[in-house]
Structure 1
Amino acid sequence: MQSETITNRTSTDNTSRCLLKPFDCDFGDLYSFQDQEQLYQKSNLKPLKCSFAIPSIFDKVRNRYGRNHTCEIIIFTCITNCYDPLPQVHGDILSSFCLVALLDTKTITAYKKIYSINSNFRWDLVDLGADATPFSVAAKSTETLKIVGQRMFPLAKWIIWLDGKGQINRISELLKEVRAPVIGVPHPDAERTSESEVNPTIDRIYVREKSLSQRLNNSIMDIKLQEKEYQRDGFYSRSNALKLKMYDIVIFLYRNNHPCIFRYLCGWHNEVNYFSYRGQLSVYYSAVRMNLTDYLHFLP
């Protein structure tokens, strides 16, 4: 399979694409697969090149929680432009649970009014500023953040991502039942695969974006380049042979500081930032490359 450096990844057919989106590619901080293997053979050589390689607004979260020992279970989300309500968390919320919402200024102002009368409100609202994304596409922040929780909350034991549309029940009991370090919700369409996900994703983009807009064209171009790369790499044929059914990544749980999962998330992070920001298209890619698919399970 292809190495992950910009110079080696020639099968994208557009070697200068990062000139158009420099922050997106820098934030992905692409590195070769050989370099990645070397990092795990010898410790303390240099930090793993995965996320926060350059300063960004997300450092505000890491600065607040980087030394927090009490938040063993992090439940977090990112909402901008008042797009969604806060996710619903049901059941016992223990003192070791921390609920963190990353919001833009517009959303945090609205939420403070909406939730001010709720005496049981547990969310820590983090203001990322008026423009809560450093990326060329705002939604890319959401897709990126669900993958880089280990960078923002390094001392947590479990990290749980919830989209605004998501809800989760019985967290304590749930974590006692899991048998894998990565857990997600199965896609409602049981027949959906990584390969078949491409066309429905493009259809959703046509609905949400303005027709004939540059952002629409760029998004579709990225997805097509990604699809072509994955076909050449043999990813689709391999994932189909493994019968890997899709997640609905509205909810995503992972054990923090698990070495294999750290590798998996770093690889997935690079895919989201180098190609299309839509994580659904690449959720299995780095797991297949690194032979880590046995570590990915569905919620019990």
Structure 2
Amino acid sequence: MLERESIRETDAMPRSRKISLNESEPFKRRKKKHYGPCEIEFLPSVDNLVEPADYNNFTQFLLKYILNEGHLNGNGVFEPLFAGHQSLQEREETYYAKNQSLHCGFIEGPEGYPSSGFDLDEHDRAYMATCRVVVSSCIFGGSDYLRRPTKSKIGSYSKKNVCFIMFLDELTLTTLSSEGHIPDENGSVGLWRIVVVKNLPYKDMRRAGKVPKLIAHRLFPSALYSIWLDSKLRLNADPMLIIEYFLWRKKAEYAISVHYDRTCVWEEVLQNKRLNKYNHTAIDEQFYFYQSDGLVKFNASGQDPVLPSYVPEGSFIVRAHTPMSNLFSCLWFNEVNRFTSRDQLSFTYTYLKLRRMNTGRYFQLNMFKDCERRAVAKLFHHRTNGITDPPPTNLHTYKNHSSMSS
């Protein structure tokens, strides 16, 4: 494994590639918009619903995952990290859609070292390994209320065959139990099966929440499909109808909505800094790094954009667990691990880089309208207002920056 050597990314990147972010010149104010749901033409029921015969004609290759890491070269004290110690060159190689073993969370250190985190009860693990279709969410740090899926909108087939998993930490379980949400003898509250996570891998609760959000295929190894919804959402539609509409009908393997207001990552960066969503220096380092690797403004060239928006809303994701979908999920998670937990900053960079490095090997992404997201999941406010995240403790940069050129 390559020896790691920390440097500041801003010292390593070509000066000519930097693009200043002038916060004194905000984007034009838009007129206040009304955001609401739009009509979705779901099938009338899940009866006789069958995956189309030609649906799974996607890019094929074999992914394996690094499960353990030994000591790295150097004199530093080795610390097991949940996402491992990935060098910049290793990061670059993982963007190729090919047979490979890559970093994708759940990585342990040598024998005798403590767990790197996200510890689950073996009974829960065994149950999760049986799931073929999953709806999942999480609440960590007592940050939200428990919102149960609307039972009347979910058919008997899905109630019987879809796994509804809510990940909680022990603090949140205690808080919700005090409010009357006590798991029954099967460990469930309504449709949600409660899975308690011990030893969260990050102190930043937002970053910890990216584990079930972004790499569901690691938690549910037998799943064919998964639906993620943030804890601020309540599911108001049948999961199988959602899969048919957003994936099968569109011949897509990954579906996520556009942001309701912003289309450009430049705008998203400014908004994150204005609202103190994260440490400003860390945001700048991530953003300059992405610019040095070719990220440009949305539709800056005047040509039709590759995506309808460069900023996803991100709270609702529908996935087929195909090789390309799983690879994208790992790559996006690794960006969130390396830089900031603000996943909207890294989504488009990850997608465009994957696309650029795999000409002719397509990732079928359905980036749908935000009003469609609002039609399937009701939005609520979080229990508490967020605070500025601390600077990431695992932000590592590396020499050999030339490998990052576009």
- Where in structure 2 are there 5+ consecutive unaligned residues? 14-75, 109-114, 356-361, 373-406
Task: Call closer, same or farther: CA 1:243–1:252 in 2, change over 3 Å.
Answer: closer
Matched with 1:144 is 211
Please give the alpha-carbon distance, in whole angstroms, between the structure 1 residues aligned to 2:342 and 2:103. Answer: 21
Please give the alpha-carbon distance, in whole angstroms, between the structure 1 residues aligned to 2:132 and 2:306. Answer: 34
Is 1:121 the counterpart of 2:187? The answer is no
Is 1:196 the counterpart of 2:267? The answer is yes
Matched with 1:254 is 319
- Where in structure 1 are there 5+ consecutive unaligned residues? 207-215
Q: Does the 8 Å CA contact 2:264/2:298 hold for their aligned counterparts?
A: no
Q: 1:296 Cα deviation (Å)?
A: 3.8
From 260, 265, 282, the counterpart of 2:329 = 265
SS in 2 for 1:174: helix
User: What number of residue pairs does the alignment pair up?
Assistant: 274
Is 1:108 the counterpart of 2:176? The answer is no
Matched with 2:276 is 205
Matched with 2:245 is 177
SS in 2 for 1:89: coil
Please give the alpha-carbon distance, in whole angstroms, between the structure 1 residues aligned to 2:364 and 2:4. Answer: 29
Q: 1:33 Cα deviation (Å)?
A: 5.0
Is 1:297 the counterpart of 2:367? The answer is yes
Please give the alpha-carbon distance, in whole angstroms, between the structure 1 residues aligned to 2:106 and 2:183. Answer: 36
SS in 2 for 1:251: strand
Please give the alpha-carbon distance, in whole angstroms, between the structure 2 residues aligned to 1:282 and 1:196. Answer: 13
Please give the alpha-carbon distance, in whole angstroms, between the structure 2 residues aligned to 1:23 and 1:203. Answer: 34
Is 1:186 the counterpart of 2:258? The answer is yes
From 8, 11, 17, the counterpart of 2:9 = 11
Please give the alpha-carbon distance, in whole angstroms, between the structure 2 residues aligned to 1:160 and 1:192. Answer: 23
SS in 2 for 1:252: strand
Task: Call closer, same or farther: CA 1:33–1:203 in 2, change over 3 Å.
Answer: same
Map 1:37-52; keep pairs closer than 5 Å: 40-41=98-99, 47-52=101-106
Most deviating of 22-31 and 195-204? 22-31
Q: 1:264 Cα deviation (Å)?
A: 0.9
Please give the alpha-carbon distance, in whole angstroms, between the structure 1 residues aligned to 2:127 and 2:183. Answer: 31
Q: What amino acid maps onto 2:181 in structure 1?
A: Y
Q: 1:142 Cα deviation (Å)?
A: 1.1
Matched with 1:36 is 94
Q: Does the 8 Å CA contact 2:183/2:194 hold for their aligned counterparts?
A: no
Please give the alpha-carbon distance, in whole angstroms, between the structure 2 residues aligned to 1:13 and 1:136. Answer: 28
SS in 2 for 1:133: coil
SS in 1 for 2:232: coil
Matched with 1:60 is 120
Please give the alpha-carbon distance, in whole angstroms, between the structure 2 residues aligned to 1:201 and 1:102. Answer: 26
Q: 1:83 Cα deviation (Å)?
A: 1.2
Q: Does the 8 Å CA contact 1:28/1:269 hold for their aligned counterparts?
A: no
Most deviating of 81-90 and 66-75? 66-75
Note the alpha carbon deviations across 1:150-187, whole angstroms, 9 max, x for none.
Answer: 11111111122111111222322121122211112331
Please give the alpha-carbon distance, in whole angstroms, between the structure 2 residues aligned to 1:6 and 1:173. Answer: 47
Q: Does the 8 Å CA contact 2:314/2:344 hold for their aligned counterparts?
A: yes
Scaled by the length of structure 1, the TM-score of the pair is 0.77
Please give the alpha-carbon distance, in whole angstroms, between the structure 2 residues aligned to 1:23 and 1:231. Answer: 30
